[in-house]
Amino acid sequence: MKTVAFVNIKGGVAKTASVTSVAHILATQYNKRVLMIDLDPQANTTARFSNINVYERLERKLHGDIRSIDNSISDLLLNRNMDVHNCIRKTVYQNLDIIPSDLQLGDVQDRIKADVTVPPQFRLKGHIKKIESEYDYCIIDCAPSVSIANVNGLAVCDEAYIPTTTDGDSLEGVAYALDLIRTVKDYNDKLEISGCFFTRWENQGVPKMAYELLEEMVPGVLLPFKMYKSKLIGEGSYLNLPLLIADKKKTVSKLTTNYLHLTEFIMADNKEEYLKQYDEERNVYLTLEQIIGIEQIESEVEQELQEDIKKNGICEPITVVKQGKEYLLVDGKKRCKVQEKLISDGIWDKYRPIPAKIAER
């Protein structure tokens, strides 16, 4: 299991948007077994995958009903004898589970400090060890603070990602996060800072100073995936929908495209190589409806390829040439045929994105 945390000490920089998008893409586009852990008492990730709609949640809160939930991350942090499985909830999505949070997480800090039997930063570690073989990825949503819960998350983490907007306050949050990660690295030496990326991006200029400072703090840390500003995230928060579901259209949005790239980057064995080959203009995602030239194909697809794609998704991009608003298929006919079949069998959605490389004419 690879454990990944999204962290920035500044609030509102799209940690939750990133966690919910990436975890859901890993589970549904790439069929990975994914566990999300919500370490924020605001419990926004928990809410996104809850079966209680936003209006009901609002109404309860407006009436002062802020009841805590049973078997949440708080219980896990407080009780080392608890069976972690009791805290894991299934979501409606295949392969995607969550350990939920609630407001009481804000109060556990003192109780953790009072119990000296387990070091305060290792309250999660024992639990996570027990489920390591049950998941491919554990994706952690951190709170915008230097909390004991965040420290526990980072203490079990392999990779930390830092989302940030371009304003000065958020970049200060990055600096705090980097400092926290370095401190936790003293007792979790596998922890790596895998990248920082801009969110709510509107092609705004980033002051040169900010780039230089970031580069100075962690050389090469800035990833090229820009998370464009889009109303899809806000809509998803009303409808309890992760990005990929909120964005079911003929054309894959730029935001979804870049979250798909970030997810592939997280999965990549060789991250340097992934970045070398990445080109924002040419590496795209298309739906089957945008691709022309498939209908003339009469090729038998081997059972083995079908099974592989059904199991792992299409990982190798197809090649296309742009023709007006459409894309002519150049290479990848068998992959497209499998996608077509899985859609007609009702296994995949018709707007499922296909990775594609746009070739020069």
Ligand X SMILES: Nc1ncnc2c1ncn2[C@@H]1O[C@H](COP(=O)(O)OP(=O)(O)OP(=O)(O)O)[C@@H](O)[C@H]1O
Query: Which spans of this chain sit near ligand X (rule: CB under 6 A)?
Result: 11-17, 40, 42, 44, 144, 199-200, 227, 229-230, 233-234, 237, 255
Residue 16 makes contact with Mg ion by CB under 5 A: yes
To the nearest 5 percent, what fractions of the chain are helix, strand and coil? 45, 15, 40
Query: What is the total count of residues that contact Mg ion (CB under 5 A)?
Result: 3
Question: What is the smallest separation between the CB atom of 37 and ligand X, expressed in angstroms?
Answer: 14
Minimum Å distance from CB 204 to Mg ion? 22
Closest to Mg ion by CB, 37 or 284: 37
Alpha-carbon gap, residue 50 to 87, rounded angstroms: 14
Cross-strand pairs, 328: 292, 321
> Given the complex with ligand X, which of 16 and 339 has the nearer CB atom?
16
Shortest gap between Cβ of 201 and ligand X (angstroms)? 7
Question: Is residue 10 a contact point for Mg ion (CB under 5 A)?
Answer: no
Q: Are 217 and 153 in contact (CB under 8 A)?
A: no
CA distance 337 to 307: 13
How far, in Å, CA of 224 to CA of 261, rounded? 10
Q: Which does 87 bind (CB under 5 to 8 A by kind): ligand X, Mg ion, none?
A: none
Neighbouring C-beta atoms of residue 337, cutoff 10 Å: 19
Q: Does 253 bind Mg ion (CB under 5 A)?
A: no
Residue 16 or 165: the one with the smaller Cβ distance to Mg ion is 16
Cβ pair 164, 170 in contact under 8 A: yes
Instruction: Please state the separation of Cα 5 from the chain's center in Å.
Output: 9
Using the contact rule CB under 5 A, the part of the chain among 43-51, 72-80, 167-175, 314-322 near Mg ion is 43-51
Residue with Cβ nearer Mg ion (16 or 72)? 16
| Residue 231 C-beta: closest distance to Mg ion, Å | 18
Q: Does 44 bind Mg ion (CB under 5 A)?
A: yes
Tell me the closest approach of the beta carbon of residue 46 to Mg ion, in angstroms: 10
Kindly tell me which of 36 and 284 has the beta carbon lying closer to Mg ion: 36
| Shorter beta-carbon distance to ligand X: residue 16 or 28 | 16
In terms of CB distance, is 41 or 332 closer to Mg ion?
41
| 333/141 Cα distance (integer angstroms) | 39
Residue 200 as a binder of Mg ion (CB under 5 A): the answer is no
Asked if 31 interacts with Mg ion (CB under 5 A), we say no
Smallest distance, Å, CB 257 to ligand X? 12
Whose Cβ is closer to ligand X: residue 229's or residue 271's? 229
Question: Which of Mg ion, ligand X, none lies near 12, with the C-beta cut-off 5 to 8 A by kind?
Answer: ligand X
User: Cβ closer to ligand X: 254 or 322?
Assistant: 254
CA torsion angle 274 277 279 282 (round to 10): -120
**Residue 6 burial (C-beta neighbours within 10 Å; 0-12, 13-18, 19+):** buried
Query: What one-character-per-residue DSSP string does 206-254 give?
Result: --HHHHHHHHHHSTT-B-S--EE--HHHHHHHHHT--HHHHT-SSS--H
Contact between 112 and 148 under an 8 Å Cβ cutoff? The reply is: yes
**Cβ atoms within 10 A of the Cβ of 95, count?**
20
Q: How far is the CB of 17 from Mg ion (least distance, A)?
A: 8
CB of 311: closest distance to ligand X in angstroms? 30
DSSP labels, 164-189: E-SSHHHHHHHHHHHHHHHHHHTT-T
Asked if 60 contacts 66 with a C-beta cutoff of 8 angstroms, the reply is: yes
Q: How far is the CB of 163 from ligand X (least distance, A)?
A: 7
In the set 10, 13, 15, 73, which binds Mg ion (CB under 5 A)? 15
Binding site for Mg ion (CB under 5 A): 15-16, 44
